[in-house]
Amino acid sequence: MTGPVGSGQGPQETAKDGRNSMERKGGSGPEDEAHPETAPPSGDVRPRSPSRGSPGSTRSDHFQAVESVRVDAYEIPTECPESDGTLEWSSTPMIVVHVRAAGETGMGYAYTSEAAARIVETELAGTVEGSDPLDVPGIWEAMRHEVRNLGRPGIVSSAVSAVDTALWDLKARLLNLPLASLLGRLRERVPVYGSGGFTSLSVSELQSQLEAWVSQGMRWVKMKVGRRPGDDPERVRAAREAVGQDAGLMVDANGAYGEAQALELARVFAEAGVCWFEEPVTSDDRAGLRRIRDRAPAGMRIAAGEYGWTLYDFVDLARAGSVDVIQADITRCGGLTPFLRVADLCEAVQLPFSPHTAPSLHLHPACAVPRLLHVEYFHDHERIERMLFEGFREPRAGWQSPDLGRPGHGLELRRRVAETFRV
């Protein structure tokens, strides 16, 4: 699956800054209270290229339309078979999208099936090409309309995510700004937590992985639970022994437990000082999460949100009082455009925010969002991103900092390396 795809030219109309442009146009802003993703009334949301030489024209008038959208699909084997509470895997699928305009190229990606690449080719490329690359939220609206009848959750949302993040990278490169500066930084660096601790690891492997992250200066580490619930108390105690008393110990059940079982184990985990219980039951069960949150031991945060595919999913979690922390994944929720809206939702309802996996793609946005708690430094993805992307940022003493000397998110695909994983 490769090469420039789609075609098309869009009509014209502009906004000069990306993030709030649709709101100023009277489009899908917060004023649409009943439906956070409701489209502008005209139905024609396609961003239009700026009219040349008009009064008040700016530097943006010199930019051209998006010329091409390219998508590639890869499958990267894990070091060994891995598992969590509800899934086993031996490879990680990934799509990478490149968008071009005015001699610059933006890159985005998502950890999802090769099928998402087909969605990019057949449904999204033609919508994006010809659009004004500065009007990313407008292009996002157009993509959302285009996939309406396919259904947003899952593969389709990840396809939109990869294109949207590529477009934001392109815009930052066109403006010769690091993405964090384009969005407006709230902080210069972000705290990261080590995440892995798969249920496929032996106790000693689990201990050495978690201990290594703490030794590198990370303040929190996360392990998986739920595959063999009877073993979990001992594995969690062993993890605590390895990381010492000061590290924040987090567990993630990936929805493996029943409600009563989760509550019982929450009390056991609390004895080992567990501070975070992620998806104790499936995050589809908002009421169940809420009941666990209400009865969980003091000091233990209930977290979910990685399967938030649309803004409604996060609104639902917040309205139901299901979580103490909202997670969102930029490669699933529809990209940076909705990711920023989720962050604003967290600010509005006073919930801490923690981006899920894909650390390199979250680094710049995490510098710009309010209520940030920390960023997940996920074992499988940091391994892939270090291998595939020139510009990968190593954490230092538990923090990651964006390279402000490079435009965009600062990442370039190492095509020769990636080629060996092509599907």
**Closest to 285 (Cα-Cα) out of 311, 309, 304:** 304
Helix (H) or strand (E) holding 96: strand 88-101
Could you say which residues in the range 258-297 bind Mg ion, by CB under 5 A?
278
Does 82 participate in binding Mg ion (rule CB under 5 A)? no
The catalytic residue among 25, 98, 222, 224 is 224
From 69-77, 251-259, 263-271, 315-323, span contacting Mg ion (CB under 5 A) = 251-259
Could you say which residues in the range 364-383 bind Mg ion, by CB under 5 A?
none
Q: Which two structure tokens, joined as six digits, stand for 149?
A: 């009848």
The binder of Mg ion chosen from 123, 132, 135, 252 (CB under 5 A): 252
Name the β-bridge partners of 214: none
Query: 127, 46 in Cβ contact below 8 A?
Result: yes
Sign for the pseudo-dihedral over CA of 162, 164, 170, 173: negative
Q: How far is CA 350 from the centre of its chain?
A: 20
Between residues 278 and 385, which has the closer beta carbon with respect to Mg ion? Answer: 278
Tell me, yes or no, if 35 is annotated catalytic. Answer: no
Using CB under 5 A as the binding criterion, the count of chain residues that bind Mg ion stands at 2
The catalytic residue among 25, 98, 222, 356 is 356
Between residues 129 and 278, which has the closer beta carbon with respect to Mg ion? Answer: 278
Write down the number of H helices and E strands in the chain: 15, 15
**Closest to 332 (Cα-Cα) out of 154, 76, 88:** 154
Scan for tokens 């086993």, then name that residue.
Answer: 88
Name the β-bridge partners of 92: 76
Could you say which residues in the range 321-350 bind Mg ion, by CB under 5 A?
none
Q: Which two structure tokens, joined as six digits, stand for 124?
A: 């999204």
Tell me, yes or no, if 224 is annotated catalytic. Answer: yes
Between residues 179 and 289, which has the closer beta carbon with respect to Mg ion? Answer: 289
Kindly report the number of other CB atoms within 10 A of residue 260's CB atom.
10
Between residues 252 and 285, which has the closer beta carbon with respect to Mg ion? Answer: 252
From 21-29, 114-122, 244-252, 339-347, span contacting Mg ion (CB under 5 A) = 244-252
Name the β-bridge partners of 83: 88
φ/ψ of 157, rounded to 5, equals -65, -35
Q: Report the nearest approach of Mg ion to the CB of residue 357 (Å).
A: 8
**Closest to 117 (Cα-Cα) out of 70, 66, 164, 154:** 70
| Helices 203-215 + 232-243 axis angle, to 10 | 30
Between residues 64 and 261, which has the closer beta carbon with respect to Mg ion? Answer: 261
Give me the residue whose beta carbon is nearest to Mg ion: 252
Between residues 169 and 285, which has the closer beta carbon with respect to Mg ion? Answer: 285
Catalytic (active-site) positions: 224, 356
Residues that bind Mg ion (CB under 5 A): 252, 278
